[in-house]
Amino acid sequence: MRFRPLRLLPIFDRRPWGRRDLSPWFEPTQELIGEIWYYDRNPTSEGPTLEALIGQHGAALLGPRVDTPLFPILVKFIFTADKLSVQVHPDDEYARRHEGQWGKIEMWYVLRADPGARLALGLREPISPERFRAAALTGEIEQLLDWREIHPGDVFVIYPGTIHALGPGVVVAEVQQNSDLTYRIYDYGRPRPLHLEQAAQVARLGPYPGCPPPQPLDDGGKRLAQTRYFAADLLEVPATFDYHPDPDRFHLLLVLEGSGRLGEEPIRAGQCWFIPAGCEALRLEADQPLRLLRSFYPGGN
């Protein structure tokens, strides 16, 4: 049985640092929207959630190589009008032992950055656990972070244990392990809980190790990142592109820019499409040049 692509309908997530103007990806909102999620909990263009359809069809949709107990990938748009908290994510071992769930690794691909926009990855120099705790309580941690100016097209893999923060004036496409486990270290006085003890146990109190540069692919795309839980590729389609789904695993296609058609379906920036395993070959046609972020679960090789 072959399935056709399914459009995932967006889930809008309010955040105190979010924004109301989400153009050109989405219509303006009255609420502060920080993130827009796409994963198995989203309703689909068929009506039921993707989770419900997977419950009916299982491996026929996901593919035989997807052998995880949970849907492995979550993709997002992130919109910032203010600073995110200084935070860190645990690895799987710590998260399973203490939280009963997965840890978190993620990749950020910068779509838009106002002049001077910055993110922080790691610390400028190693510090002791005692200084880390004190700096988190006083706010000095913000000055200890390694802040760097960012630009559209920049790629960052945020490994478990990496202290990080994102500044205002940024739009990011994120691919991540399907987990929402975050330990806040400092939150600029917002009335939200902090998790200093957990963060102190998992944070790497030193510089960010860096990440591999994007690598060219045979189909003309770029491999932006590959981790145990996801691979992320950038595809650019100025006119037409023959898209060959994988018989062994599903793909998620996040439309970053442009408009056109995926087979017979109209597509535009802001949408996310679930490409079932074994789906027939598709023609991508661009009315306006398309830029897409393809993600998939690489396990089971």
Q: Is the pLDDT of residue 226 over 50?
A: yes
* Per-residue pLDDT at 300: 56
What is the pLDDT at residue 102? 95
CB 44 within 8 A of CB 53: yes
Mean pLDDT, residues 283-301 = 91
Mean pLDDT of the region 93-109: 97
Identify the pLDDT of residue 261.
98
Instruction: Tell me: pLDDT of 301 over 70.
Output: no
For the stretch 251-264, pLDDT in tens is 999 999 999 999 99
Give the torsion sign (CA, 132, 133, 138, 141).
positive
What pLDDT, on a 0 to 100 scale, did the predictor assign at position 58?
Answer: 87
Mean predicted confidence (pLDDT) in 5-19: 97
% of the chain beyond a pLDDT of 90: 95
| Cα distances (angstroms) measured from residue 55 to each of 50, 61, 96, 156, 292 | 9, 10, 24, 34, 28
Residue 1 reports pLDDT greater than 80: no
The token duo for 105 is: 């690794």
Quick check: 40 pLDDT over 90? yes
pTM to 2 decimals? 0.96
Mean pLDDT of the chain: 96
pLDDT at 278: 86
| 120: CB partners within 8 A, 6+ apart | 86, 145, 146, 147, 148, 163, 164, 165, 166, 167
CA distances to 91, 137, 265 from 200, in Å:
13, 12, 48
Kindly tell me if the per-residue pLDDT of 6 is higher than 80: yes
Average pLDDT of span 138-147? 97
Q: Which domains does the chain have, with CATH numbers?
A: 6-202 (2.60.120.10), 215-296 (2.60.120.10)
- DSSP letter at 93 equals H
Mean pLDDT of 172-199: 96
pLDDT given for residue 151 in this prediction: 98
Q: Cα separations (Å) of 40 from 45, 50, 54, 74, 166?
A: 13, 5, 8, 8, 26
Cβ neighbours of 193 (radius 10 Å): 7
